[in-house]
Amino acid sequence: MLFVMFGFIMGSWAGRIPALRDGVQLSHSALSMVLLCGGLGAVVAYPVSSRLMAALGGRKTLLVAGVALLADLVCIGLAPSVPLLMLAVLMLGVTASCFDVGVNSVATAREKATGRSELSRLHGLGCAGALGGATLGSLMAGMRIAPATHFVMIAIPLLFVLWLGFEMLEAEQRGGQVERKEFRLPSGPLALLGALGFLAAMSEGSVADWGGVFLKDHFGASDALAPLALSAFSLTMLVARLFGDRLKGMYGARRLVCLGAATSAAGLLFAVFAPNAWLALAGFAVGGLGLAVVFPFVFSAAGKEGPVALAGVATMAYSGSLLGPPTMGALAHALGMQAAIGFIGLLSVAIVIIAGRSALLR
């Protein structure tokens, strides 16, 4: 329930980026700076999330971070100027990361305790939420409902979902306490996991933030059609993640990540050269199918090495979110949106190379 809710919130935000951009009249470079604030907030959130996990445990951390995340989503919709929008997006990065670290820590602790691979399925449920959020964003845009109204409308029922999920979690689950050990960025085999997380986060975040902008600017897609880039990407990612745990037991994580990333590269490069928006959507769908298992398998492998390892790998992954927006904005400004989306395809090629050398990914 909490994975679905988190995906729905982030999908709702990503699905309205084109409308938010037009509302404050942002250029590609200015939009990249706004999105950079979200990545920056994600990276600097580590001290906040670790303190919350230590003081409250995973269950209460999810409640506090979830309430703050919903409040910030509303603030993004209400932001009347670029500076206030940047501040709100910065706080989105902080609150989303606190929630994400908490929920993944609880989930990986459960995997370790039960010996069952479950993280792919749980991340798949997050994709289901993102798909629902982005699709609802498309409907809201088609009905010309402002992002502020949209976000208020969903925040109220999601508060109830958050409380219900909080009540259903086991009260003594404290899987994410990480700050009592010295925190360092990963090295050795863990560094390869961190690099995979970095590339996966950069890829997923870039599609979420820029896929709709690509459809709108390159093909002239409507505000209703543009968010479907994320919907197509999330739908196939959902399907793949629901079967990912079973396939992992049959073929191993490393082989699946390599094959999936190669598939993703083909799909995203197809989207770059597609003759129309609908075929580009098919390319994004193939991209989502291929990238689906990277994040859950990397987090599962890192979680088996302990909470400090998970936090370090997560920090490297969030650094990918930090560098994604300015990189995409610079490429879009200098070379056009086709080059920017093509760059995401090249990131998938890098994932194939690194995953083939990862000893912990098994």
pLDDT at 62 over 80: yes
**Domain boundaries defined on the chain:** 2-355
Q: In this prediction, what percent of the chain has a pLDDT beyond 90?
A: 30
pTM of the model: 0.74
- pLDDT tier for residue 179 given thresholds of 50, 70 and 90: very low
Q: What is the mean pLDDT of residues 100-124?
A: 80
Question: Which are the contacts of 155, defined by CB distance < 8 A and separation ≥ 6?
Answer: 70, 71, 73, 74
Mean pLDDT of 138-149: 87
Spatial contact of 19 and 147, defined as CB atoms under 8 Å apart: yes
Q: In whole angstroms, give the CA distance from residue 236 to residue 204.
A: 13
- Give the whole-angstrom CA distance, residue 21 versus residue 212: 11
Q: What are the pLDDT digits (tens) for 299-348?
A: 888 877 766 677 778 778 877 876 776 788 788 888 888 998 999 999 99
User: For residue 177, what pLDDT band results from cuts at 50, 70 and 90?
Assistant: very low
Q: pLDDT value at position 5?
A: 94
- Which of 1.20.1250.20, 3.30.420.40, 1.20.120.340, 3.40.47.10 would CATH assign to domain 2-355? 1.20.1250.20
- Report pLDDT for 267: 95
Give the Cβ contact number of residue 118 at 10 Å.
15
DSSP string, 103-121: HHHHHHHHHHHH----HHH
**pLDDT at 185 (0 to 100):** 59
Q: What is the mean pLDDT of the chain?
A: 84
d(CA 97, CA 65): 9
